[in-house]
Amino acid sequence: MAEAVGAIWHERAEADLLNRLVIDAGMTWSDVAVLRACRRYRRQVGTAYTETYQDEALLAYPDVAEALVGLFRVRVDPRVDGSEAALQHARAALQTALSEIAQLDQDRILRRIAGTVEATVRSNVAVPVGAERGSEALAIKLDSREVPDSTAPVPYAEVFVHHPGMEGIHVRGGRVARGGVRASDRREDFREEVLNLMQAQMTKNAVIVPTGAKGGFVLRGPPADPDERAQATTAAYRRYIRALLDVTDDVEGDGTVPAANVRRRDGDDPYLVVAPDKGTAALSTEANAISHAYGFWLGDAFATGGSSGFDHKQLGVTARGAWVAIQRHFRELGVDVQHEPIRVAGIGDMGGDVFGNGMLQSSQIKLVAAFDHRDIFLDPEADPETSYAERQRLFAAARSSWQHYDRGRLGPGGGVWSRQAKSVAVSEEVRQLLGVDWPSATPPALIRAILQAPVDLLFLGGIGTFVKASHERHDQISDRANDAVRVDAADVRARVVGEGANLGVTQGARIEYARRGGRINTDAVDNAGGVDTSDREVNLKLAVDAAIADGELDPGERDELLAATTEPVVERVLADVGRQAAAISHERVTSAQDLSAHVELLERLEGHGESPAPAGRLDRELEMLPDQAELGIRADAGAGLTRPEIAVLMGYAKLDLRTALLDSSLPDDPALETLLTGYFPDAAVRAMPKAIAAHPLRRELIATRVTGDVVDCMGVTWVDRVVRQSGAPACHVVAAYWVARTLLDAPSAWEIVARHELSCDPLLTAELRALVTAALDQVARTELRFGVEAIGEVIERDRGAVDAIASAAGELGSQRLQRRSRRLDRLPPAVVDVHRRVNDALPFARVAEQLELVESRGLWQRWQRQGLVGELQQARRAVAERVLTEHPDRDAPEAVAAFLDARPEARARLERLVARVEAADEVDLDAVAVVVRALRDAFAG
């Protein structure tokens, strides 16, 4: 009793009803703390029973309470006999006590706590608390698959952290996993928040080595004063990090060192990496100091960022990655956002990393509306140059909010208002911007109007979920703070949505918005730059520390080398985001014709196919992917998957393929070594080649890079289709692809296509991509038939033959161009130049875009669309030849201009037809056919 009172006095234990067990059952205060932690965890899992009701059940049956603690200690307390006999005895004692329960609710409560104890695999209950090691918080590590009533997504493992002043959770999608740790304000359901973030992180992490993880903690009695709250958050973070490290193994040499004073009921588990997130952006140095105090093998690679890491805000890498994805959206719409003004509405403020950096990515941004948790900003007539300079000033300030915006730099009708205001006067300019007729509005109504504004870009850079699907209820979103301002996707009028922040739009809302013609990916794609940078930092530091330990690198060169690699790392990260966004675009173009292949892949990833992926890998309902009925409707309508759906499918396909490759010997093939060295900046490869060659995650790095290459270049279903058709395992298919890629020098071809795809006719670039993938597919299938056990040997065997074939093909292509040039009596460069100028001068690209937008219904319409694509290509060639024939003595610019000047009425009529098609609410295939034939008859006939 005295110890219990002392623990409560020193805030190591709580003062609540459960302390009666100290008297009723003779328990220690630490025994009661175990039950309290289990009860608190059960509440987070989602039990309908209140904490008081659960306490009453435990107090009503002190024998059960005592038996629960007894089983817990046998399972995870190394000071207690943990033999199988002791375990069976503890279980039998618990079952005997449970059999005496008379009331149904109490039986359910106590049996679920018992199931939670059985799911516990580690705890720091016996770890002594010292000045530098050991946490005052109790850590309970659980096998999430064994937790009663645990709903999807079910993580690989989780650690629940409990203390009178704070609580937290850390969940992982796999053994090697990483993700941010946030200071949450959702005390009642922080586990649900963290699980949802982990789910997004898992698909986001398809581009990096570890799978997704996420952590979060809450203050149980947060101080009102901001400075005191910040101090309390830092103290809670320290307790949380110590608790996690208490139950994490270490590494020494090539072996694993078990966590001290911990009984392990699971296997070796030494990989734990955390990253900054909401409320913890400045705490990475704290975490790395704790890592060093524990002697943890990752050192300052444990928490990315910090004093010796990459400063994400300074680099702006998350926002820059999101901007790469946004640029592609607009380029595909024919807009260059670096040189053409765009109207933007946003969520966030200039002091934030993502929003602040994001709104500085182009001087052409006209930020007309924004809001954060404090203020509403409106500048309907924003001047790009003036507003850009003011945003720069705010971003550079130590602390800023929209209230600090210089009112003299606002355009007519603009202003800044507190969200606490009773109402806001709405100017005429704001009414026109938002499309409303209110003289005034409440702040929530104004925010909803901003989210629905007809702007070019809606940029999400703040915390919260602001757009839901029409069929979703607010209480399903788990973000009660924004229920009053959240809007339906059906009402979002922005042309493009960019997700710099996590969970700003529900997946159902993304799909609904995309099906209405909006341009959107997912948060996992748009803001992958941050997680990619963090992972590269960890992997770089692992190599650096190994090089120092082996004498390959001088310790004094460490920080200098890390600094020298910063910008090259960012360049690689932005390239990763660009490739992923491009891959989604390419998949979207053919999604209707590839729908059956997408369905087969979906079913296999769910476990319905002949070679199922691990159980639970893909939950179609959880990920909002279409069910069989919906897929049938889309097939009949000639529609495919949307960009958000493709993004999710691509993420899971990459995770699945990477797993298959890691289970094979392919990552050990010397021919793939260039993927490992290419992952690291050149300066790092030169400084420590041995450490990189022996990197502890060497196989994972190679498997991840080759997976990304094949899926991004060949499509999400290609490996699956070849596996199904050939019967070969995925590792052999990928090996055959790598042989074909090398023999055909595919990277050079992809580079040429990528360089021109956003500035050329989409039909032309689609043709080029199809040619490259068809060649790779043919060579890879041929190599697969002959065997690809050793990639390097196969390449050397077949290089001569392929070079000879390629030379003949090149000569054939050149001969065709020469024949055409001779027939027209023009040099080849002139023929090519006229083709390009004709394409730019007449609306070929606009008509091609309309054909892409057609949702053909049924087989005949699909054939009609394909036929029109061919007609459009033929018309372009015919017009170019007619220009050359009619004006043989003029250079390309003059010839094209003279040809078009002779046909003003035809050009005007064609422009009217194209404009009418573009203005229609829904693209009509017959209308596009009229345009194609009018173009052909007027200019090519």
923 vs 848: CA distance, rounded Å: 12
Distance between CA atoms of 585 and 579, rounded to whole angstroms?
A: 10
**How many alpha carbons lie under 13 Å from residue 288 in its C-beta half-sphere?**
20
What is each CA distance from 536 to 108, 700, 788, in whole angstroms? Answer: 47, 13, 31
Cα(15)–Cα(9) distance, integer angstroms? 9
**The two structure tokens encoding residue 933:** 């034939």
Give the whole-angstrom CA distance, residue 218 versus residue 165.
9
Q: Which residue has the tokens 């004006």?
A: 887
**Contacts for 372-375: CB closer than 8 Å, 24+ residues apart:** 372/347, 372/348, 372/401, 372/402, 372/462, 373/419, 373/462, 373/463, 373/464, 374/349, 374/401, 374/402, 374/403, 374/418, 374/419, 375/349, 375/401, 375/402, 375/403, 375/416, 375/417, 375/418, 375/419
Give the three-class secondary structure for 714.
helix
Residues with active-site annotation:
214
CA distance 790 to 668: 10
Would you state the structure tokens that stand for residue 748, as one six-digit string? 């050079």
Residue 869 corresponds to which tokens in the numbers above? 């694509």
Q: Three-class SS string for 282-323?
A: CCHHHHHHHHHHHCCCCHHHCECCCCCCCCHHHHCHHHHHHH
CB 677 within 8 A of CB 521: no
| Burial (CB count <10 Å: 0-12, 13-18, 19+), residue 664 | middle
Percent helix, strand and coil across the chain, each rounded to 5? 60, 10, 30
Helix (H, G, I), strand (E, B) or coil at 744: coil
Integer Cα distance of 5 and 682 in angstroms: 61
718 with 710: CB under 8 angstroms? yes
Whole-number Å distance between alpha carbons of 251 and 267? 14
What does the longest C-alpha to C-alpha distance in the chain come to?
Answer: 107
